[in-house]
Amino acid sequence: MRGFSLKEHGITVKDILRNASPAVLYEQAILNEVDSKISSSGALLAYSGLKTGRSPKAKHIVKNTNSEKDVWWGNVNAPISQEVFQSNLKCVLEYLNSCQRLYCVDGFIGWDQKYRIKVRIIASRPYHALLMWNMMIRPTPEELSDFDSPDLTVFNAGVSSADPELDGITSKTSVDLNLESQEVTILGTEYAGEMKKAIFSYMNYLMPKQNILSMHCSATSDKKNKHSSILFGLSGTGKTTLSADPQRPLVGDDEHCWTDEGIFNIEGGCYAKIINLTHEAEPEIYDALVYGALLENVKYNEETRQIAFDDDTITENTRASYPIEFIDNAKIPCIAGHPSDVIFLTCDAFGVLPPLSRLTPDQAEYYFISGYTAKVAGTEMGVKSPQATFSPCFGGPFLVWHPSKYAQMLSTQIRSHKAKVWLINTGWSGGSYGTGSRIKLSFTRAMLDAVYSGSLEETPTVIDPVFGLEVIVNCPNVPSELLVPRESWTDKNSFDQTASKLGNLFKENFKQYENEVTDSVKLAGPR
């Protein structure tokens, strides 16, 4: 839509493409951005420049008397003043007003219309507009004509740099959220995922304020839409992969809310990590990478334009964005009933956590706040052996309130709706990384199938002596020797030492949260 004005936002540019179609944005990207191409499958290829991932240390929230008591200040939410925000906003507007053409995307966040908000994206790059066209809920022509003042506006001037001399700004990259003015400014990074996660951060403030639990998780529904299941997990644990299940309708792959009526997806699309993607392992995602999809920072064959999914030359964080309806069995609208199962996914590179265990509500709160997974060699510079990573609520960089608030809300929902809670280790067995082997995806899928079917109700269990978890020792289509991790290790002493080491890492990490939880939650961790 041309002839649209953004004067109310301080933007004087006259050539604004509002809610341009993917075809127009493809054309704009190819004409105006040297590296943009069309892949052999029909997806647009785009590149984010120097930054190929999020910059969590560059996230700031404006400190204001109306909201400062709500915010979990510290490493996750660094404060800046209203004056500094205005300086960055001025820099953003100066850059955007220097552009000949801008791209505006107006859309909705939240499939449940009772909690839906209107979001406006203003960007200088067509690829940024395409990503957010995919990721937001796309309005009908009638809804767009009635789209008045947005509830949140994101100004993306990532091509321009922030001023590191400003108080609280530590680099040329700055992603700033103003809760009072409902604005986000982006400077110094062209990584498109910053827009998506800035919106999620805002929802992580807004929803709990309305007593709605916002969650960094994927979700599926049973075919009768009576119950749903939610899967929490950090990058690399299988959250997106395991939610793309041909037997279960997909509610969403990354961000959801849990209300008194059930769950709803926050987003209108998916933003999947596609390094080493294969049709055999993830056919639903592979088949979604067609016209309208966006491929970010991937390598390809110059002659055929076929994607080199196993090439991490640019980044290990290669991404694909596509509307959720590109998944054949997506549940539209993306709303489902209360979860019958809450699943925590962890990729334990130490190889000591059980592949499948059941948690009490107190354990659920403990392990949710902990948000554990492990990095392995090759995923980050300087990582030579397994390193424990703890990200509270499996989404630390996007939280606004203290983690205990989200954990207590989750515990309340679990108890109220009698949901079962499971911990599934998608990492290593038979030894740590370098000695053992990664648990096969087919085994993990078999565990999930057993969870969903309810067949584990009467199955035998044992209590893990270190982590206190109720370990499932018999699961259809999974080797029994895999299910009790100590039994799969040749060197039992080494297993005991490694398990003790990881247990102590959990304890040390949890000390920072002990004052905000009940005694029963404190005692629910490793022994």
Residue-wise pLDDT for 382-397, tens only, equals: 445 688 999 999 999 9
pTM listed for this prediction: 0.95
Residue 426 falls within a domain, yes or no?
yes
pLDDT at 226 over 90: no
The 3-state secondary structure of 112-165 reads CCCCCEEEEEEECCHHHHHHHHHHCECCCHHHHHCCCCCCEEEEEECCCCCCCC
pLDDT band at 236 (very low <50, low <70, confident <90, very high): confident
Q: Which residues contact 359 (CB under 8 A, 6 or more apart)?
A: 344, 367, 421, 422, 423, 469, 470
User: Considering 174, 209, 244, which residue would you say is the last residue of a domain?
Assistant: 209
- Residues 17, 198, 405, 524: what is their CA dihedral angle, to the nearest 10 degrees? 120
Residue 388 falls within a domain, yes or no?
yes
Q: Which residues contact 516 (CB under 8 A, 6 or more apart)?
A: 402, 403, 404
What residues are annotated to the active site? 54, 197, 216, 235, 239-240, 254, 319
Residue 183 falls within a domain, yes or no?
yes
pLDDT at 296 over 60: yes
Report the percent of the chain where pLDDT is more than 90. 92
- Whether the link from the prior residue into 246 is cis, omega within 30° of 0, is no
User: Could you tell me the CATH number of the domain that includes residue 152?
Assistant: 3.40.449.10
| Chain segment 260-269, per-residue pLDDT in tens | 999 999 999 9
| Maximum Cα interatomic distance, the chain, rounded to a whole number of Å | 72
Q: Which residues contact 385 (CB under 8 A, 6 or more apart)?
A: 377, 432, 433, 434
Evaluated on CA atoms 174, 179, 181, 182, the torsion sign reads: positive
Q: Which residues contact 128 (CB under 8 A, 6 or more apart)?
A: 103, 121, 156, 158, 190, 192, 195
- pLDDT value at position 225? 80
pLDDT at 508 over 60: yes
Amino acid at 150: P
- The total of other beta-carbon atoms located within 10 Å of residue 21's CB is 12
Kindly state whether residues 204 and 344 are assigned to the same domain: no
Residue 300 falls within a domain, yes or no?
no
- pLDDT value at position 383? 45
pLDDT band at 1 (very low <50, low <70, confident <90, very high): low
Please give the tally of structural domains in the chain: 2
Q: What is the mean pLDDT of residues 506-517?
A: 96
| Chain segment 116-154, per-residue pLDDT in tens | 999 999 999 999 999 999 999 999 999 999 998 999 999
**Helix ranges, 183-266 (H):** 193-209, 239-243
User: Considering 184, 209, 234, which residue would you say is the last residue of a domain?
Assistant: 209
Amino acid at 442: S
- pLDDT value at position 385? 67
Residue 247 falls within a domain, yes or no?
no
Beta bridge partners of 217: 232
Helix (H) and strand (E) counts for the chain? 13, 28
Kindly state whether residues 30 and 178 are assigned to the same domain: yes
pLDDT at 381 over 70: no
pLDDT at 378 over 70: no
Amino acid at 220: T
Query: Which DSSP symbol is given to 499?
Result: H
Q: What is the mean pLDDT of residues 445-472?
A: 95
Kindly state whether residues 344 and 204 are assigned to the same domain: no
Residue with tokens 């709605």: 212
Residue 350 falls within a domain, yes or no?
yes
- pLDDT value at position 446? 97
Nearest to 464 by CA among 347, 342, 353, 371: 353
Report the percent of the chain where pLDDT is more than 70. 98
| Chain segment 413-431, per-residue pLDDT in tens | 999 999 999 999 999 999 9
- pLDDT value at position 377? 46
Residue 466 falls within a domain, yes or no?
yes
User: Considering 185, 209, 233, which residue would you say is the last residue of a domain?
Assistant: 209
User: Could you tell me the CATH number of the domain that includes residue 392?
Assistant: 3.90.228.20
- The total of other beta-carbon atoms located within 10 Å of residue 260's CB is 10
Domain that holds residue 453: 340-522
Residue 70 falls within a domain, yes or no?
yes
Kindly state whether residues 498 and 355 are assigned to the same domain: yes
